[in-house]
Amino acid sequence: MYPFAYTKPADTRAAITAGARGGRYIAGGTTLVDLMRETVERPDTLVDIGGLPLREVQATASGGLRIGALALMSDVAAHPRVRSAYPVVAQALELSASPQLRNMATIGGNLLQRTRCAYFRDVTAACNKRQPGSGCAALEGHNRSHAILGTSDACVAAHPSDLAVALVALDAGVHLQGPDGERGLAMTELLLRPGDTPDREHDLRPGELITAVEIPPHPRPLRSGYLKVRDRQSYEFALTSAAVVLHLTGGVIRDARIAAGGVGTVPWRLDAVERLLAGARPSEQLWAQAAAVAADGARPLRHNAFKAELLKRTIERQLRTVGGTR
Amino acid sequence: MTRPAAGAPLSRVDGWLKVTGQAAYAAEHDAHGAVRDVAHGVIVTSTTGRGRINGIDTRAAGALPGVLTVISHLNAPKLPYQPFRGVPDPARGGGERLRVFQDDQVRFFGQPVAVVVAETLEAARHAAALVRIGYDGERPATDLASPAGPPNKLETYQRGDVETALRQAHTRLTRTYRLPREQHHPMETHATIAHWNGDRLTLWDKTQNVLNTRADLAAVFGIPPESIRVISPFVGGAFGSALRAWPHVTIAALAARQVRRPVKVVLTREQMFTGTGHRPVTDYTLTLAAGQDGRLTAALHDISAATSTYEDYRESLTVQGQMLYATSNVRQSYRSIPLDISTPTYMRGPGAATAAFAIECAMDELAHELGIDPIDLRLRNEPGQDPSTGAPFSTRRLRECLRIGSRTVGWDDRDPEPRSARDGNWLLGTGVAVASYHTLRAPAQALARLDADGNAIVQCATSDMGPGTYTSMTQVAADALGLPMAGVRFQLGDSTMPQSPPHGGSLTMASVGSAVQDTCDKLRLQAIRLAVEDPGSPLHGAPANDVAVENGRLYLRDDPGRGETYRQLLARADLSHLETPGGYTPGDEVERFSTHAYGAVFAQVAVDESLGLVRIRRVLGVYDAGRIINPKLAESQAIGGMVGGIGMALLEHAVTDPRDGRIVNANLADYLVPVNADVPDVNAIYLRGDDRTADPIGVKGLGEVVIVGVAPAIANAVFHATGRRIRSLPITIEALL
């Protein structure tokens, strides 16, 4: 670990000022501190935002939900409104990490957590994300856990968040506050694909702070759920995962929102699957047909080719679980 | 009569110390006040897998405030490194241990190449990140198929005529089974604090064998063993990783000598992957031949296992192939393959757990091929005496293990047809495998002292890495001395104490336990003799054999009212204490009898075939381990071993990047071990009884046998569930898709 300065601002404005000067925000610290110990992250200054009043979870006037960026994963997972209206979010959270980590980690931090790519996390390996231009050790290395969608020749690291997958399916966005004021971004705008610049992971400007996540209103009734596939039953990142959100009336799927995790460099929205589902009636055949296109465009690597097939099966299973066959 | 302590499910005598943080582990002796003014050493490891160091730049590191020195081969003193063979000797096949900072050669990725010593851990870690090392590196050999050099000497075994038997066999099958590199990963990472006082060295070390560490370091520094004291009262798990003194122990001692003050070195979790050994990658090709009746007619074992380029590590891979089943014709060849890796070492059930995976999966395959029930096949091949030596078994109750286990899991209700049971998306399967582990015994000594207050202290330089040695030895001592548990304190983990064999190989209870029994019997008899010869004693004149001791009171068996306490006895004799040494030396029973612990392991699994998931429903082990000194501790041992076996079957695999030899998943987020959710129903049953031929206290060893057989039972259950044989561990999602 490299030495660093530590500051704990009293309010959001002071925090943003410190952040704009180059300070790194720290809240739960469940990912940043690990990476500092490995010298992957070497911030000069840590700006502790843990005391800022950004923990509230509340319904919006339009019928959506606003989740403070500093709300704890465990609190959001247990929130009655989240559990009743957005099971996909509660499940994604409860299938993440361990209870100890969920008691520390915040919603904002969860979205910005960094990849589990072993070469990224090992400063002695080549990594374009950590050190632009140094190469990608994972491309020809051990890449079982890596992405098959949204990859580039510069980076194949998978985005690790389960929550982000559920939020992408729900068309959620983030509220930002920065030196130049407030703005908002869709989840899909916040997180960037690697392209030629895998070191740029998000579209935040210097000093900008995520203050809240907002889930827009959705037509009711809304069925949703999250399935996570991994080697052990708990405390492991996803090999594949599926967030399925369906609006069904009169036996017809009016609206389908499907996203996948563990397979993309960012949480992966499956538009092609959604198109096959919209306007159709649930059936075993439909689930199979729709899931069959889930891995279209996948670029498998040496050790993760199985993910393409596993992704289709994961999506199909979760479509059946959420949508039933009536 | 009061109930004996041995046999009772007592809680750990050191449990309170452990859960309240009062137990001092290796890295904590400074915090507990045993040593002051400790500097911190952080090891820098190689980032190439084979080659030489062409330059070390320590300027930035050395310039940091608080940094005392950076030691590498460029400035390290030449150390004597006298020839040394450990006990047990991990380099049984030959070679010499890694010498730290003595040359510029890099023999594996992760090899220690420098140590930074600083006032604080923070400064040392920061400086270690600033040390720049240049290498002339080349691609290392990390795969059994392309070794770093010619294979080491072939180890062979033969009986009968395998070729003829194979030719004439009714059924023959040849299968290759693969085990990956597995890591021990006890909770406590390895650590050493070294302190020189003149030419005398004190080491607070994590070790399963203080005497081995002492002897090894004495050879490294060319000083007499008596000038080194090794202290290791608590060990936070080891599973074999602490059976030898790894390079970091020498590094701590070397650094302490250089900076002239105590130095502490704690390995990081990542450094544990290459710094403290591992279970080697092993390929095991097995040919079994059998008659129509299922009787084995021949077995041909061809085993290749990884070792380093500088040591020829060998483990007990051939034992079960020789003695588990009645077969007249057996041939084995075992070769170790030198690779550019760190030397492997004993890991729980060493050799046996590996061999059992091959043998017990192959037996299951044979049973399926012949249409014979897997349990029945094993019963048909149950030998009447040890097939490798002709020696009688001291005890072998494998039939009972199988019978009780099959009854408990409802084996007879199982439809033998694969894919015959289903629960929603899950295919269900039940598998069985047999476990065995040879009972090791070795000479041990102990010292027992009875103080004037009537309490006793018993000592032996053994270790307690988790099985509960403190507690079980206290039980044996308390019974022998006629004292309550609270009246006996058992001490261990100090090289000044009476000699102990290594705390490993499941030999501690048999060997140290028998030594404690002998020593405490002697001390009790000494006290009884003192009483019966003392005219002032109520027991004066009584035959010593007629006197018993209970709760610290000596009394006449036929007239319990006549007696006195140890306290009264010692007070009247004006003695501060009574003290006696004792010990145990195994006799020729070791040769005359075949002694092994046995087990039958049953696994029930659920497989989600579409998603490739294997989930454990139940694991049951039924063990013939001789006498059980403490059922509560035994339960912990067995559950721990079986959980380790689940990890072996489904999760554990240290992945090597062939380009540079790096362990890719060198952390506990990526090197997967089971979590609670993975081990829902794990239970052990012990056959009642003992084995008084094996050793005086009747035990056969437990810690190793409980990991053996779990992985094949699970693999066989996966076959029963799915109809698919997975012969390479771990059984992953992609293997089942």
Q: Assign B178 a pLDDT band (cuts: 50, 70, 90).
A: very high
Task: Please return the burial class of B673, using the count of CB atoms within 10 Å of its CB with bins 0-12, 13-18 and 19+.
Answer: middle
Give the residue from chain A lying closest to B122, CA to CA. A1
Residue in A39, A122, A143 to test binding to B, most B beta-carbons within 10 Å: A122
β-pair type (B444-451, B577-584): antiparallel
pLDDT per residue over B456-486, tens digit each? 999 999 999 999 999 999 999 999 999 999 9
Pairwise CA distance, residues B468 & B560, whole Å: 34
The answer for A 159-218 residues in CB contact with B (under 8 A) is none
User: What is the average pLDDT across B119-140?
Assistant: 97
User: In chain B, pLDDT over 90 holds for what percent of residues?
Assistant: 99
Per the CB < 8 Å rule, is B675 touching A317?
A: no
Instruction: Locate the DSSP E strands across chain A.
Output: 5-7, 24-26, 45-48, 57-59, 65-68, 173-178, 181-186, 209-215, 222-229, 240-249, 252-261, 268-269
CB crowding A135-162: b at 16 or more within 10 Å, else e? ebbbbebbbbbbbbbbbbebbbbbbbbb
Using an 8 Å Cβ cutoff, are B660 and B139 in contact? yes
What is the average per-residue pLDDT within B498-508? 97
Question: Does residue B658 have a cis peptide bond before it, meaning omega lies within 30 degrees of 0?
Answer: no
Per-residue model confidence (pLDDT) at position B487: 98
Query: Per-residue pLDDT averaged across B165-177, rounded?
Result: 97
Of residues B429, B374, B430, B366, the one with CA closest to residue B402:
B374
Q: How many helices (H) and strands (E) does chain B have?
A: 18, 27
Chain A interface includes B732 (CB < 8 A):
yes
B533 an active-site residue? no
Cα–Cα distance, A61 to A50 (Å, whole number): 27
Provide the token pair at B122.
Answer: 């923070």
Q: Do B677 and A232 touch (CB under 8 A)?
A: yes
Chain B's closest residue to A314, CA to CA, is: B611
Check if the beta carbon of residue A320 is closer than 8 Å to that of residue A326.
no
Amino acid code (one letter) for B101: F
What is residue B1's predicted lDDT score, i.e. its pLDDT?
60
Share of chain B above pLDDT 70, in %: 100
C-alpha span between A56 and A71 (Å, rounded):
6
Residue B102 has pLDDT above 60, yes or no: yes
Query: Please, is B630 exposed, middle or buried when counting C-beta atoms within 10 Å of its C-beta (0-12, 13-18, 19+)?
Result: buried
In this prediction the ipTM stands at 0.97
Pick from A105, A107, A69: nearest CA to A89: A107
Distances (CA, A) of A188 to A173, A215, B146, B719: 8, 13, 46, 43
DSSP state of A158: P
Distance, CA of B219 to chain centre: 24
| B223 burial level (CB within 10 Å; 0-12, 13-18, 19+) | middle
| Phi and psi, residue A280, nearest 5° | -95, 165
Question: Between A121, A125, A309, which is nearest B737 by CB?
Answer: A309
Closest CA to A179 of A202, A208, A203: A208
Closest Cα in chain A to B61 = A2
Count of CB atoms within 10 A of residue A321's CB? 16
The alpha-carbon gap from B652 to the nearest alpha carbon of chain A, in Å, equals 10
Mean pLDDT of chain B: 98
Q: Which residue of A has its CA nearest to B65?
A: A3
The two tokens of residue B471 are 């507690």
Average pLDDT rounded to a whole number, residues A52-64 = 97
Tell whether A236 lies on the interface with B, counting CB pairs under 8 A.
yes
Q: Can you list the positions of beta strands (E) in B268-380?
A: 282-290, 296-308, 329-339
A contacts of B126 (beta carbons < 8 Å): 1-3
Residues of A in contact with B109 (CB under 8 A): none
**Orientation of helix B352-370 relative to helix B710-722, angle to 10°:** 30
Q: Is the pLDDT of residue A17 over 70?
A: yes
Q: Say if B659 is an interface residue toward chain A (CB within 8 Å).
A: yes
Helix (H) and strand (E) counts for chain A?
12, 12
Whether the Cβ atoms of residue B498 and residue B459 lie closer than 8 Å to each other = yes
Give ∠ CA B125-B219-B444 in degrees, rounded to 5: 105
- The answer to whether the beta carbons of residues B434 and B362 sit under 8 Å apart is no
Q: For residue range B566-621, what is the model confidence (pLDDT) as tens digits?
A: 999 999 999 999 999 999 999 999 999 999 999 999 999 999 999 999 999 999 99
Q: Is A83 on the interface with B (CB under 8 A)?
A: no
- Comparing alpha-carbon positions, the chain B residue that sits nearest to A119 is B664
Local confidence band at A265 (pLDDT 50, 70, 90 cut-offs): very high
- Chain B hits for A235, CB-CB cut-off 8 Å, are 675
CB A64 within 8 A of CB A49: no
The beta-carbon neighbor of A118 closest among B613, B665, B734 is: B665
DSSP reduced 3-state for A320: helix
Rounded to a whole number, what is the distance in Å from the CA of A150 to chain B's nearest CA? 22
- Look at the block and give the residue holding tokens 């040494």: B581
Q: Whole-angstrom Cα distance, residue A308 to residue A312?
A: 7
Mutant choice from B121, B271, B611 vs A, greatest count of A C-beta within 10 A: B611
Average of pLDDT values for B434-453?
Answer: 98
Tens digits of residue pLDDT in B229-263: 999 999 999 999 999 999 999 999 999 999 999 99
Average pLDDT over residues A75-99: 98
Closest CA to A325 of A289, A286, A293, A276: A286
Contact B424/A at CB under 8 A: no
H/E run at residue B201: strand B200-205
Question: Nearest chain B Cα to A234, which residue?
Answer: B677
Indicate which residue of B311, B564, B652, B704 is catalytic: B704
DSSP notation for A209-242: EEEEEEEPP--SSEEEEEEEE-SSSSSS--SEEE
Distance separating alpha carbons of residues A317 and A323, to the nearest angstrom: 10
CA distances from A309 to A138, A259, B611 (A): 21, 16, 9
Best of B139, B610, B664, B665 to disrupt the A interface by mutation (most A CBs within 10 Å)? B664
pLDDT tens column, B187-221: 999 999 999 999 999 999 999 999 999 999 999 99
d(CA A43, CA A53): 24
To which H or E segment does residue B45 belong? strand B39-45
Q: What's the length of chain A? A: 326
pTM: 0.98
CB pairs under 8 A between A and B: 79
- The answer to whether residue B110 neighbours chain A at the CB level (below 8 Å) is no
**Contact state of A239 with B651 under an 8 Å Cβ cutoff:** no
Chain B residues 582-611 within an 8 A CB cutoff of chain A: 610-611
For residues B623 and B437, the answer to whether their CB atoms sit within 8 Å is no
Residue B5's pLDDT is what? 97
The pair of structure tokens assigned to B721 is: 């569930």
β pairing state of B105-106 and B132-137 = unpaired
A39 burial (CB, 10 Å; 0-12 / 13-18 / 19+) is middle
Closest Cβ–Cβ partner in A123, A232, A317 for B674: A232
Which residue in B131, B133, B670, B729 has the most chain A C-beta atoms within 10 A of its own C-beta, making it the best mutation to test that interface? Answer: B670
Residue recorded with tokens 């929130």: A79
User: What is the structure's pLDDT at B2?
Assistant: 77
Taking the Cβ of residue B20 and every Cβ of chain A, the question of whether any pair is shorter than 8 Å is answered with no
For helices B710-722 and B631-650, give the axis angle rounded to 10 degrees: 50
The beta-carbon neighbor of B657 closest among A116, A142, A235 is A142
Phi, then psi, of A137 in degrees rounded to 5: -70, -20
Cα(A134)–Cα(A118) distance, integer angstroms: 15
Give the minimum alpha-carbon distance from A265 to chain B in angstroms, rounded to a whole number. Answer: 19
Sheet holding B171-179, edge to edge: B155-159, B329-339, B296-308, B282-290, B171-179
Beta strands in B58-199 (DSSP E): 67-72, 105-106, 112-118, 132-137, 155-159, 171-179, 191-197
Q: What is the pLDDT of residues A295-324, one digit of tens each?
A: 999 999 999 999 999 999 999 999 999 999
Q: Is A135 on the interface with B (CB under 8 A)?
A: no
Contact B677 A233 (CB under 8 A): yes
**Closest-CA residue to A147 (of B718, A211, A118, A155):** A155
CA closest to B46 among chain A residues = A124
Q: Which residues of B425-457 are buried (b: 16+ CB within 10 A; e: fewer)?
A: ebbbbbbbbbbbbbbbbbebbbbbbbbbebbbb
Sign (positive or negative) of CA dihedral B548, B549, B555, B558: negative
Contacts of B652 in chain A (CB under 8 A): none
Distance CA B439, CA B394 (A): 11
Share of chain A above pLDDT 70, in %: 100
DSSP of B418-468: TT-EEETTEEEEEEEEEEEEE-----EEEEEEEETTS-EEEE-S---SSS-
- The distance between the two most distant Cα atoms of chain B, rounded to a whole number of Å, is 84
Q: How far is A39 from chain B (nearest CA, A)?
A: 8
* Cβ distance of B734 and A233 shorter than 8 Å: no
Q: Are strands B51-57 and B132-137 parallel, antiparallel or unpaired?
A: antiparallel
| Count of residues in chain B | 737
- Distance set, CA B34 to CA B26, B27, B38, B93 (Å): 11, 11, 11, 39
- What's residue B287's pLDDT? 98
Q: Which residues of A touch B734 (CB under 8 A)?
A: 144, 306, 310
Residue B605 contacts residue B717 (beta carbons within 8 Å):
yes
Return d(Cα B119, Cα B100) in angstroms, integer: 22
Please report the pLDDT score of residue A325 as a whole number: 76
